[in-house]
A and B are shown apart, each in its own frame.
Chain A
Amino acid sequence: MAAKVSLLARIRLVLWGLVAVAAVVVGALFLGQMQEAARQGASLPGAARFGGDFELVDQNSKTFSSDSLKGRPYAVFFGFTHCPDICPTTLFEMTRHLEALGPKADRLQVLFITVDPARDTPEQLQQYLSAFDPRIVGLSGSEAQIADVAKKYRIVAEKVVTSDGSYTMNHTATVFLFDGKGALTSTLSWEEDEKTRQAKLQRLVDRG
């Protein structure tokens, strides 16, 4: 038994050593890339590619293309309707923020993308979203379409089975803010107070 454990321990040590070596290589390559990018005056690698094009279905069962976002600022966040706390709260807060923005709110497109398309059909989204600002667009799609968007926005979305045989979703809850040029400018987080979030949205719509 002891011999077995020590063999495992040795394998672990060797493997961790290899991990360390590989990590150093990655780091070195990455640093080189960054320096190259800095020389050319480019943004951080990958920053320009955050987000991206998609085509999904809205709560009225109409196709929604990211093309329609061009030229206007937008806020996008991911969630699901079988969510007890953060999703309805974020939708409620976005409703309040839109209200506080006044007429300028019309410039801002707010998107709620489900990470649970199996249960969040357009009909389910329509019913659920009726409790919030009607300008909020809810988006669903096929499992593959949702996986693709989640990847583009680097969203964590993992299914967790519950003891009643059903499931819930762990997911990224950050609200991403994009300007009219489609560039990520800021984020809203659950931990921030209402004033801070409102100011960020105000700046976003003021800039256009």
Chain B
Amino acid sequence: MQSIKLNGVAAAVAGLLATVVVALDTAAACEKHDKAAHAQTKMTRVADAGTTHNHAQSHAGLSVEKAWTRATPPGAKVAGGFVTITNSGKEPDKLVGASFALSKSVEVHEMTMTDGVMRMNEVEGGLAIAPGTSVELKPGSYHLMFMDLTGTPKESEPVKGTLRFEKAGEIAIEFAVAPIGAKSIDGAGGNTPAGHGHGGHEMKHQH
């Protein structure tokens, strides 16, 4: 019993000390991070200026496919959206925002699972899509977070939306709706109306 108490006290002391040190570290890191963020903002602006002339070209290289979401249980206020974005162009781009016909707002999130703990964070400053790469927003990873649903996504009833990119601008898409619990777009089944394929395959540019 005595040893348990001692153990507790020692652990508390260690914890407290560690907290102080971590706080010091965090303060130092924040300072560094701020500086880095400033630098990045400047770089982005320079890049923007450089691409103004060939704006049309810059989104020729960006393609969006396999956009899907899931049917939600009754009373659900949020949903996750998934999509694959491929940048076959020569310039980096960024997914900076999105819209979904059945939600008030959309955020770009990253989910992680560490030792059984699910964590979700907003992707600060947009999700980078490097040239020659493909980024898959999928369950358990990056996703669009549909916040404040104004309606219920129903299985096999595609929902319209848009993706907004820093350079390519706005791209209209359609999210196929898979059943609750689906792990991939294949769960969306082949019931989407003819001509729409899997909903997400079709895309249009609009400005």
A interface residue numbers (CB < 8 A to B): 8, 11-12, 15-16, 18-19, 22-23, 25-26, 29-30, 32-33, 36, 81-86, 88-89, 91-93, 96, 119, 124, 127-132, 156, 160, 162-164, 166, 168, 170-174, 187, 189-191
CA–CA, A33 to B1, complex, Å? 10
Q: Is B105 an interface residue (CB 8 A)?
A: yes
B75–A160 CB distance below 8 A: no
Chain B's closest residue to A30 (CB) is B7
Known contacts A22-B10, A29-B6, A85-B139; A172/B76 CB under 8 A: no
Chain A residues with Cβ below 8 Å from B87 are: none
Main secondary structure of the interface of B (DSSP, over half): mixed
Q: Is there contact, CB below 8 Å, between A26 and B14?
A: yes
Q: Which of B7, B20, B146 contacts A15 (CB 8 A)?
A: B20
- Contact across chains for A160 and B120 when beta carbons are under 8 A apart: yes
- Whole-angstrom CA separation of A129 from B106 in the bound complex: 25
Closest beta carbon of chain B to A68's beta carbon, Å? 25
User: Would you give the shortest CB distance from A15 to chain B, in whole angstroms?
Assistant: 5
Total A-B pairs, Cβ < 8 A: 135
**Nearest B residue to A25, CB-CB:** B10
Partner of A168, one of B7, B10, B75, B120: B120
A196 vs B56: C-alpha distance when bound (angstroms): 51
Is the CB–CB distance between B120 and A163 below 8 Å?
no
Q: Do A83 and B117 contact each other (CB < 8 Å), given the known contacts A15-B21, A19-B14, A190-B140?
A: no
With A32-B3, A129-B73, A170-B117 as given contacts, are A84 and B146 in contact (CB-CB < 8 Å)?
A: yes
Give the interface segment out of B36-44, B77-85, B159-167, B193-201: B77-85
Top 10 A-B pairs, shortest CB-CB distance: A92-B181, A22-B14, A84-B80, A127-B75, A131-B73, A174-B116, A170-B119, A29-B7, A173-B118, A25-B10
Whether A170 touches B73, Cβ cut-off 8 Å, given contacts A15-B17, A26-B14, A162-B147, is no
Q: List 18 extra interface pairs beyond A12-B21, A163-B122, CB under 8 A.
A: A18-B17, A22-B13, A25-B14, A26-B10, A26-B11, A30-B7, A84-B79, A85-B143, A89-B180, A92-B180, A128-B74, A130-B73, A130-B74, A164-B148, A166-B147, A168-B145, A170-B117, A189-B116
Shortest distance in angstroms between B14's beta carbon and chain A's nearest beta carbon? 3
B57 close to A (CB within 8 Å)? no
CA A160 to CA B24, docked complex, whole Å: 22
By a CB distance below 8 angstroms, the chain B residues around A30 are 7
B143 CB contacts on chain A under 8 angstroms: 84-85
Question: Please, which residues of chain B bring their CB within 8 A of the CB of A36?
Answer: 3
In the assembled complex, the Cα of A189 lies from the Cα of B77 at a distance in Å of 25
The residues of B that contact A156 with a CB separation of less than 8 Å are 117
